[in-house]
Amino acid sequence: MADKPSIPKGTRDFSPLEMTRRNHIFDTIRRIFQVHGFLPIETPAMEKLSSLMGKYGDEWDKLLFKVLNSGDFKAKLSTEELNQTSGKLGTKISEKGLRYDLTVPFARFVVQHRNEITFPFKRYQIQPVWRADRPQRGRYREFYQCDVDVIGSDSLLNEFELIQIIDEVFEALGLKVQILLNNRKVLAGIAEMIGSPDQMTAITVAIDKLEKIGHEGVLSELKQKGLSKDSCDKLEPLLQLEGPGLEKLEKLGGILEGSEIGMKGLAELRHLLEYVETDPVTCTLEFDLTLARGLNYYTGSILEVKSAEVAIGSICGGGRYDDLTGIFGLEGVSGVGISFGADRIYDVMLQLDRFPKRAALDTTLLFVNFGEAEVKHIIPILGHLRKYGIASELYPEQAKMKKQMAYADKREIPFVALVGEQEVKDGVVTLKEMETGKQERLGPEELVQRLSSAK
């Protein structure tokens, strides 16, 4: 036999069991997006490279999967062009790439369709993305993102709604989580107060590592990046702020008093927490000054969600961006959004055994196939059951009883129906419950009732 076929590294097949579990996550997320009035969109897997490249910097461009132009792609290339580096040649022979997130395509969508969109635009999008990252445990080259954004409104009610959505999603999935909250304006204020506003990125990147490398590690990294000793001294007490979230906010208020942007960030945080008080969340919500989030486009609130039960990093995150559509030429449109990491959520749920035991739409009943005469008796009963939404199958072959029962067993079908000569004559079905072995003789209507209640 030929070599066993396989799939590209970093990609996955999903078996029926995995699909059922993944759909449980997607359906839960989708249902909650919808009840909040968010609308679905989808964008193509391939975008023009001109839309994808140069958006977040070279590092990101390297993660792009480029699609080779179809037809005679090298027809118009000179020998010189053909001998360029792979990087340059790549953009000559490919015009399209696979999207690596849903944010850039969303920004492109908003700009392209701005005349058809009703703003504020509340959209969600659940689609795969592709990244030419080095595959490793828990990191794939194809994975799904579940994004939800409001664009065209700078009200903090939007941030509040996203916090509610996070709370509702994880409550519905049965997971305990912690939401960490910060604001980029506060980080900008800190940079301003310590006299290094131009160092804001370096500061946030370093602060982001506080949990990993400790406050001394952060300071030594910043010194390396050229932050003055004076600035570092001013930063140190901030890194050691203690106490519950609101208390930290108060302390910070004292420190940031001289920074307009810092105070604005603090006011936003306070306002948002006031909204939360009107309808408290069930999960933990905490102000975390050390939360910075890597992406450059955030300008206001930022948040991240961690499992309170499994150490796996962020399972959801996002923030406010004041100029995302600017990359496509439409300036001054504020938005805020979050992205659920379906793969990590899956891993957490699997580890904690939180998936429902049975999907509602798994097959409930298998009719054993005893031969043509019985089959013709069974067919209309099957149709009747399915009309009532009871997922039912007839084993397609007149195979040995043992084989048919093994199929029911492996598929974990809870009921088997036996219809032999006697049952045909009496117009009944012998229903066997697999778990208990208990058998009942039921007419077609009784069968529907029995299985509807068992579903």
CA distance 116 to 416: 53
Q: Closest separation between CB of residue 9 and a second copy, Å?
A: 10
**Rg value, the chain, Cα:** 29
Nearer to a second copy, 90 or 197 (CB): 90
- Which of 53, 330, 428, 434 touches a second copy by CB under 8 A? 330
Instruction: Indicate the SS3 state at residue 76.
Output: coil
Stretch that binds a second copy, among 160-168, 234-242, 341-349, 435-443 (CB under 8 A): 160-168
- Which of 28, 103, 158, 183 touches a second copy by CB under 8 A? 158
Nearer to a second copy, 306 or 432 (CB): 432
Residue in 253, 255, 343, 268 with CA at minimum distance from that of residue 298: 268
- Which of 73, 294, 422, 454 touches a second copy by CB under 8 A? 73
Which are the contacts of 255, defined by CB distance < 8 A and separation ≥ 6? 193, 237, 238
- Which of 53, 60, 89, 354 touches a second copy by CB under 8 A? 89
Residue 139 found at the interface with a second copy (CB under 8 A): no
Q: Closest separation between CB of residue 28 and a second copy, Å?
A: 13
Host H or E run for residue 431: strand 429-433
- Which of 53, 92, 135, 153 touches a second copy by CB under 8 A? 153
Cα angle 363-364-365, degrees, rounded to a multiple of 5: 100
Beta strands 301-307; 177-183: pairing state: antiparallel
Nearer to a second copy, 255 or 448 (CB): 448
- Which of 53, 60, 92, 132 touches a second copy by CB under 8 A? 132
- Which of 24, 123, 185, 320 touches a second copy by CB under 8 A? 123
Question: Within 275-314, which residues bind a second copy (CB under 8 A)?
Answer: 275, 278-279
Question: Within 406-435, which residues bind a second copy (CB under 8 A)?
Answer: 407, 410-411
Question: Within 2-21, which residues bind a second copy (CB under 8 A)?
Answer: 2-8, 11-16, 19-20
Residue 445 DSSP label: H
Question: Within 250-279, which residues bind a second copy (CB under 8 A)?
Answer: 275, 278-279
- Which of 55, 108, 185, 344 touches a second copy by CB under 8 A? 108
Nearer to a second copy, 313 or 389 (CB): 389
Residue in 188, 217, 215 with CA at minimum distance from that of residue 204: 188
Which are the contacts of 133, defined by CB distance < 8 A and separation ≥ 6? 10, 63, 139, 141
CA distance 314 to 145: 13
Q: Closest separation between CB of residue 447 and a second copy, Å?
A: 15
The answer to whether the CB of 263 falls within 8 A of the CB of 250 is no
Supply 38's token pair. Answer: 């968010």
Instruction: Indicate the SS3 state at residue 149.
Output: strand
Question: Within 348-387, which residues bind a second copy (CB under 8 A)?
Answer: 361, 363, 366, 369, 375-376, 379-380, 382-383, 386
Residue 150 found at the interface with a second copy (CB under 8 A): yes
Nearer to a second copy, 62 or 441 (CB): 62
Residue in 335, 311, 373, 267 with CA at minimum distance from that of residue 123: 335
Residue 39 found at the interface with a second copy (CB under 8 A): yes
The answer to whether the CB of 95 falls within 8 A of the CB of 68 is no
- Which of 26, 36, 92, 234 touches a second copy by CB under 8 A? 36
Supply 72's token pair. Answer: 């005679």
Nearer to a second copy, 192 or 407 (CB): 407
Q: Closest separation between CB of residue 289 and a second copy, Å?
A: 27
Size of the site for a second copy (CB under 8 A): 106
Handedness of CA 99, 103, 107, 113 (dihedral sign): positive
Supply 115's token pair. Answer: 């005349």
Which residues on adjacent β-strands are paired with residue 317?
Answer: 304, 339
CA distance 365 to 407: 12
Residue 392 found at the interface with a second copy (CB under 8 A): yes
Residue 118 found at the interface with a second copy (CB under 8 A): yes
- Which of 26, 60, 92, 120 touches a second copy by CB under 8 A? 120
Beta strands 439-442; 96-98: pairing state: unpaired
